[in-house]
Structure 1
């Protein structure tokens, strides 16, 4: 790996950690369904991508372990504290967003 590749990796990792902190501490109020509607991904997607990246490097990781890395705690606990039931409006917007893909 060249120095540039290593530095790029470090920058990308720092940006990812900042995104996680932002979602955990500054915007825990933003629901996953809203992220899916507006951005096309959510915290669970990040956890899946995290697990896939680990597995591509030979690191075994369960879905629950990946979610805990993204949520900062077991998903069940985060869900109890932060996740609300989706409103009919959110469900309709989610379906409309899926149709656009």
Structure 2
């Protein structure tokens, strides 16, 4: 596969990942952090950083809107639950190991 086709495939995979996360809003960021050590906010930060590497200016709010499919504040109000004590304990345990 040439570089252009590789980039197209990688972009399609990223869009598919975002669609999958969008279709599974019940999966909370804390759950992603516990299980995979990344979340939607991480993807937003990576998006912002890669844009900067390519000479583009994308701020954190813009990147989060791309990843969340809506302004973060709206997504948070509609879909984000308060982390349970158990989730927080699992997260802390993972961070200290």
**Shorter-chain TM-score category?**
over 0.9
State whether structure 2 residue 78 is matched by structure 1 residue 76.
no
CA positional deviation for 1:99: 1.3
**What's the Cα RMSD here?**
0.8
TM-score (norm 2): 0.97
> Aligned residue for 2:47?
50
CA positional deviation for 1:85: 0.3
**Number of residue pairs aligned between Structure 1 and Structure 2:** 97
Runs of at least 4 residues of structure 1 off by over 2 A?
none
5 Å-filtered alignment, 1:7-86, equals 7-25=5-23, 27-86=24-83
Structure 2 spans left out of the alignment, 5+ residues? none
Counterpart Cα distance in 2 of 1:96 and 1:58 = 38
